[in-house]
Structure 1
């Protein structure tokens, strides 16, 4: 199957489970293309690290082929070609690689190069710089707050949220590329233009019902007081409506829950009055909810429109492009068939073969670019042009970046239909070269309980171990108590301290020391005048040594990045710099693929693409909660506490999607383990949490108390 997948005359779609060698098959495909004199190859990866790794491994192989023995080269070629007759070609590839037009980069890097070479065509200034533009958002928000034309809209919103929440909402709207179509919002909500008062008939019925209920049971009298108070107050409809309807579900209450049988028997007309009030009040509450959502969303979108205008002007003034810009501009550029070929030709990047890595992580707009690039691949011309896609829907974990995991299977069908199944191959890689049989059996047993939710297909999940004779180990620890340090928690800490770390990373006391040292470290720059500038390097060196004594030499990487940010910062104010750090939260990106003998502590998203002999999964008892007040479905709808049937349906769908991604995160986490896997968590047990699912479906793996074999032989004392 792998030999067919790297056939340069076929377009191939590869579903590759975790550990099956996605990078290896991509590299083999590139090498096969090069060996058969194919040119104009574009490889698109998800990260710069993946692009660098792939390029390094290809160049390392080609370099090796130039000097290795004939027997060794024949062995390599036989694995790729089933023959050994390309020796001369293989030895020349390293020196000829520059002429074969092989490009390996992220899709963002490709788009940036594309648009920056054609600034006039896409309408941007020359020499624009690619940036995340985080600092611009805070500048723009400050301008929005004082913009005179928006004061009424801001004041209306200010009754519900504070300044920081508004800033976050506007940033979220921008990241999600929210449409500002108010008519579409109105149509989705079916909102009225205004809210009318309740008809007099309802008011009379409520007056009569309050009197009737006052002569009934204790519950009836309580409802009577609610209705009486409402009639004599400011008429807050919700306080009255909750007597007749369920405000959360927008459903009518049963008559028996409003009036007791004995009271109803004495006043039979009450049932007719209650039903009449329910119908009108339910309609009125639904109109109120939709109207309030509309007004709230309208105010926000009006502010957002100005926010976007200010943001675009700020980018233009500073000659900046963000990552959304380059994707959108590239789509526009490649969508014009009149000069798409001319653009690619002048870019010196005519493309005949496209390879896509981690395809499950592509957004809809990224797929648009790919489809534009290979539109003519399947038209049946004399020139053989191919598409090679590798990915795994089970490892799609980037919905927060606009990725829709369903697209992976949808695009497979799209290209299958596009090729009319001619010179097309779809294949599934199941043999895992990473994990032991015990780990793979555990994963299969667990995820075959919900394979449709994880992989969006009807086939069971199956991993075939390559390391079939190696011994693996899995251990599920009891949940740790929240209130006191238990025996097992002590075992866990001893295990890390004695086995994996030379000393604890830090405690609360040391955190305070770090914070104090950081403040003191900053003031060094503020207090040093130009006259004492010569002392600054030695002062910095002294401070770095103090950090290293407490945190270890690894902290130098963070300190150096911190210094770089400080020196590049546009303002001389210490306070402005600290505020900028808090708002933008810059990250130091370490090379986690290095073979350092160290404990790597990271999120599951950061662990994607990595592996380790021993994996601890610590936070397994937390179920995600979606607390977003804005829902997105074509247009944003800012619901907050208002209920609406359409909004509630979208929320239910999003909740299912969020939980399915939570399951896929677990798949990614478990499949990082090569040999040993340890599952832990904190009480209380959460229903449908990873820990709950593992203990329910992961049998026969038992919960261990103190015996931590095989990581160390003796029982913890």
Structure 2
């Protein structure tokens, strides 16, 4: 093992015979590990692979180009050390045809080869984002016009309820958004068909109420923190001690609810929170004026939390909530049917123009790879072709992409192996319908069920000084919980210093300054926008 690698990195580079999930923190050298793993697979003295036996999936085309370049440079470096090695020269020659690409590019190549299985025009082309959006808008407009002409009462009611104050633009936006969500699922039609049914399914509704109960208790925990802060201020030597009795009583009420009520017991949780009372604070002006003001502000924060719960989240009983869901179920069923009609018409419009969009690339590839009983012959052929599938930025894939990856690899990892690398803490593409729970499920399950796969944590950071990492770890421990960040920021998740820096004599340890940027109010944001509009392009770019 080279001294340049940590034990965990070297294990990620050399482990074989099982699916691997590498949880690589920021600055952990994941790309270097990925490239080194590939090079070792190509130069393995016992079981060497050709570079075209690997499928390397990246998130962007730029990342794919960089990965190909880095692999080429690593092969060239090996050739410089072993100029007589004909096998290395062969790998460099094969690199141009190696499958190093985004998943969309991989799917596109698959459709080019198997268009006849889908009744797809062999001269099809991929619509760019603008072209696809314009076509979607046109198809939806025609669909809505037809519905208006039919004058169905249920449709007109849906428009009145969800269309907006002046037109149906909000309803159209909902239809397009639901279409996007459906497209991120392997079975979009089935997903849409079961959505409305969930509104009247008692088990699903109980699950929703439990989730809302968790949200209510999270808000209540904020009230507890605020009251604890107020109590600490009032307990100071110059604090307003006349507030102590009231603050202690209010804190006890909040803690009683948090400790004694299950999140699934909606009505009891609602009743107890509504019963939390805040008496008028004593008018006696004892203690330091500034501390008195701080205690009052902290207490007001707690009161606002309780008010928010009672007036909004907990405003209705479970019976009222379930009745409301049942009432809207017919409208939701119609809404889902509108989305299904839109999808059918949009697919027809694309077929007439010989177009596919980016969602089609994934779903059509899935149709090529999957039969009703399991992997198709094409999928089995790819399993034979690729000895290993390596996926970068795995935390940002969606359900369709996951299904594709599972079809081209051996689920046990004994045959074609799946190597996934990413960091769920850096998942930023949920707005593009990435599903980080796919990463999290494996992150948790691989530790409990090693027969499913192995998890390797790369926690050493080679980018920052220890003082920076200490500050980051401190902040993330306070902020990142399973409820907020879907992952507990514990000793396993925290970043550890991996780089060494020269120490100067009498040097002061660098201090970390945290700057909090407050969100602008609507008026302030509008004023900022007006100011930016007055600037020329260069100045505006510099200002931003």
| Contact in 2 for aligned 1:41/1:102 (Cα 8 Å) | yes
| Contact in 1 for aligned 2:54/2:98 (Cα 8 Å) | yes
Does the C-alpha gap of structure 1 residues 93 and 6 become closer, same or farther in structure 2, counting only changes over 3 Å? farther
Q: CA RMSD in A?
A: 4.3
In the alignment, the residues of structure 2 paired with residue 394 and residue 28 of structure 1 have an alpha-carbon distance, to the nearest angstrom, of 24
Q: CA deviation at 1:433?
A: 1.4
**Which one has more relative contact order, counting CA pairs under 8 Å at least 6 apart?**
2
SS at match of 1:397: coil
Q: State the Cα deviation string for residues 317-352 of structure 1 (Å, max 9, x = none).
A: 112222322222222322239895742588898211
SS at match of 2:193: coil
Q: CA deviation at 1:48?
A: 1.7
Does the C-alpha gap of structure 1 residues 373 and 175 become closer, same or farther in structure 2, counting only changes over 3 Å? same
Please say if 1:119 is aligned against 2:127.
no
In the alignment, the residues of structure 2 paired with residue 481 and residue 368 of structure 1 have an alpha-carbon distance, to the nearest angstrom, of 39
Q: CA deviation at 1:367?
A: 1.6
Equivalent residue for 1:109, pick from 105, 117, 124: 105
Indicate the residue corresponding to 1:331 in structure 2. Answer: 366
Indicate the residue corresponding to 1:198 in structure 2. Answer: none
Q: CA deviation at 1:90?
A: 7.3
SS at match of 1:475: coil
Q: State the Cα deviation string for residues 3-58 of structure 1 (Å, max 9, x = none).
A: 23222744433111011111111111111112223121000112222111111222
Please say if 1:174 is aligned against 2:174.
no
| Contact in 2 for aligned 1:154/1:303 (Cα 8 Å) | no
Within a 5 Å distance, the mapping from 1:433-472 to structure 2 comes to 433-453=462-482, 454=485, 456=487, 459-460=490-491, 461-469=493-501, 472=510
Indicate the residue corresponding to 2:85 in structure 1. Answer: 88
| Contact in 2 for aligned 1:190/1:290 (Cα 8 Å) | no
After TM superposition, the structure 1 stretch with the greater mean CA deviation from structure 2, 471-480 or 439-448, is: 471-480
Q: State the Cα deviation string for residues 222-260 of structure 1 (Å, max 9, x = none).
A: xxxxxxxxxxxxxxxxxxxxxxxx99x9979999xxxxx
In the alignment, the residues of structure 2 paired with residue 363 and residue 19 of structure 1 have an alpha-carbon distance, to the nearest angstrom, of 24
Bigger proportion of residues as helix:
2
Please say if 1:307 is aligned against 2:303.
no
Please say if 1:427 is aligned against 2:456.
yes
Tell me, which stretches of 5 or more residues in structure 2 are unaligned? 1-6, 183-190, 205-265, 276-315, 503-508, 522-527
Within a 5 Å distance, the mapping from 1:135-284 to structure 2 comes to 135-147=134-146, 148-149=149-150, 151-160=152-161, 161-162=163-164, 163-177=168-182, 179-181=192-194, 184-185=197-198, 187-188=200-201
Within a 5 Å distance, the mapping from 1:591-610 to structure 2 comes to none
Does the C-alpha gap of structure 1 residues 352 and 359 become closer, same or farther in structure 2, counting only changes over 3 Å? same
Q: CA deviation at 1:86?
A: 9.1
SS at match of 2:14: coil
SS at match of 1:14: strand
Indicate the residue corresponding to 2:30 in structure 1. Answer: 22
Indicate the residue corresponding to 2:513 in structure 1. Answer: 475
Equivalent residue for 1:394, pick from 425, 428, 437: 425
Equivalent residue for 1:97, pick from 91, 94, 97: 94
In the alignment, the residues of structure 2 paired with residue 600 and residue 28 of structure 1 have an alpha-carbon distance, to the nearest angstrom, of 41
Q: CA deviation at 1:508?
A: 4.3
| Contact in 2 for aligned 1:19/1:433 (Cα 8 Å) | yes
In the alignment, the residues of structure 2 paired with residue 481 and residue 429 of structure 1 have an alpha-carbon distance, to the nearest angstrom, of 34
After TM superposition, the structure 1 stretch with the greater mean CA deviation from structure 2, 24-33 or 368-377, is: 368-377
In the alignment, the residues of structure 1 paired with residue 157 and residue 64 of structure 2 have an alpha-carbon distance, to the nearest angstrom, of 48
Within a 5 Å distance, the mapping from 1:654-669 to structure 2 comes to none
Does the C-alpha gap of structure 1 residues 289 and 120 become closer, same or farther in structure 2, counting only changes over 3 Å? same
- For these two proteins, the number of residue pairs brought into alignment is 398
SS at match of 2:463: coil
Equivalent residue for 1:358, pick from 393, 397, 420: 393
Tell which structure's C-alpha radius of gyration is larger: 1
Indicate the residue corresponding to 2:59 in structure 1. Answer: 46
Indicate the residue corresponding to 1:372 in structure 2. Answer: 407
SS at match of 1:97: helix
Please say if 1:551 is aligned against 2:528.
no
In the alignment, the residues of structure 2 paired with residue 38 and residue 50 of structure 1 have an alpha-carbon distance, to the nearest angstrom, of 23
Give 4+ residue runs of structure 1 displaced > 6 Å after superposition: 249-255, 281-284, 345-349, 413-419, 478-483
TM-score normalised over the length of structure 2: 0.62
Indicate the residue corresponding to 1:320 in structure 2. Answer: 355
| Contact in 1 for aligned 2:410/2:417 (Cα 8 Å) | no
Tell me, which stretches of 5 or more residues in structure 1 are unaligned? 74-84, 192-245, 256-280, 484-505, 514-549, 556-598, 602-717
SS at match of 1:354: strand
| Contact in 2 for aligned 1:451/1:459 (Cα 8 Å) | no
Q: CA deviation at 1:286?
A: 5.4
